[in-house]
Amino acid sequence: EAGVAQSPRYKIIEKRQSVAFWCNPISGHATLYWYQQILGQGPKLLIQFQNNGVVDDSQLPKDRFSAERLKGVDSTLKIQPAKLEDSAVYLCASSSSQGAEAFFGQGTRLTVV
């Protein structure tokens, strides 16, 4: 079975610019997660979708971050405008249901300069 696909793998932008990340979960997986992993730290949940509804976005900085999951399949995470402290790896994961094994993409490494 194909894994979780993320693009791009790497992105370098200047502060105050905008950036978008894309995630294609495993086919049929209802639950989709976006995590932010700052260097040297464990991943922090940004947003969790169940199908196309948001389950948890309590740690999403909504003044600059947004995410959507149209039709309950692919998802896009956007940052506008970016700050230096947004430099991190952004991980997307999916699972067949809440609590089931999560499958992770390879991540997008964002560098904000």
Site string for other proteins, 71-90 (x = CB under 8 A): --------------------
Q: Find residue 103's DSSP bridge partners.
A: 94
49 sits near other proteins (criterion: CB under 8 A): no
Give the strand pairing for 88-95 and 103-104.
antiparallel
Q: Using the structure block, give the residue that is written with the tokens 């499958």.
A: 103
What is the identity of the amino acid at 54?
V
List binders of other proteins among 6-45 (CB under 8 A).
33, 35, 41-45
Residues that bind other proteins (CB under 8 A): 3-4, 33, 35, 41-45, 48, 50, 55-56, 91, 93, 98-99, 101-107
